[in-house]
């Protein structure tokens, strides 16, 4: 699923070479098993019995979470699935105080989606991911009411 979504969405943002590199580095079976061992919880998004995306989150402290991955099949974007996923996460995470994520600074669709959910840009950061590639991201933060 990552292969389909990434190859459809990201080449115009980061180029196909970096897409291939990131898929191999972060989405191989071994890499994903390692991410799970390090505390990420993965969820498959199903619509009418068909996989349409996936989510990965991890708890980094008391009430502090990181949204590692939220990917929806590009043909299903703007259908309300992302909003439904966010509502489900809010039900599942009963102690949420903050949720952070990283998003490519050129990924305008995703940035605007996160703004609609209540995220704000916390900082700008460039992450060296090896082999001369960087993730040029915004770190965004959502703070639950009362925090």
CATH of residue 52's domain is 3.40.630.30
Q: What SS3 state is found at 46?
A: strand
**Higher pLDDT pick, 77 / 14:** 14
- What pLDDT sits at residue 147? 53
Residue 127 near residue 135, CB atoms below 8 Å:
yes
Segment holding 12, helix H or strand E: helix 11-14
CA distances to 12, 15, 21, 64 from 133, rounded to whole Å, are 16, 11, 9, 28
pLDDT band at 146 (very low <50, low <70, confident <90, very high): low
Number of structural domains in the chain: 1
Domain range spanning residue 102? 2-143
Q: Which residues contact 31 (CB under 8 A, 6 or more apart)?
A: 25
Instruction: List, for residues 67-126, the tens digit of each pLDDT value.
Output: 999 998 877 767 788 899 999 999 999 999 999 999 999 999 999 999 999 999 999 999
């Amino acid at each position: 699923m990552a292969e389909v979504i990434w190859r459809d969405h990201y080449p115009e943002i980061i180029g196909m070479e970096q897409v291939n590199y990131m898929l191999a580095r972060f989405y191989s079976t071994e890499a994903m098993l390692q991410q799970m061992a390090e505390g990420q919880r993965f969820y498959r998004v199903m619509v009418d019995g068909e996989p349409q995306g996936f989510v990965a989150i991890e708890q980094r402290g008391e009430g502090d979470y990181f949204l590692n991955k939220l990917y929806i099949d590009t043909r299903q974007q703007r259908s309300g699935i992302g909003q439904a996923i966010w509502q489900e996460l809010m039900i599942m995470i009963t102690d949420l105080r903050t949720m952070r994520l990283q998003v490519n600074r050129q990924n305008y669709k995703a940035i605007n989606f996160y703004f609609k959910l209540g995220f704000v840009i916390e900082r700008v950061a460039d992450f060296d991911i090896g082999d001369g590639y960087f993730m040029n991201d915004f770190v965004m933060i959502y703070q639950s009411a009362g925090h």
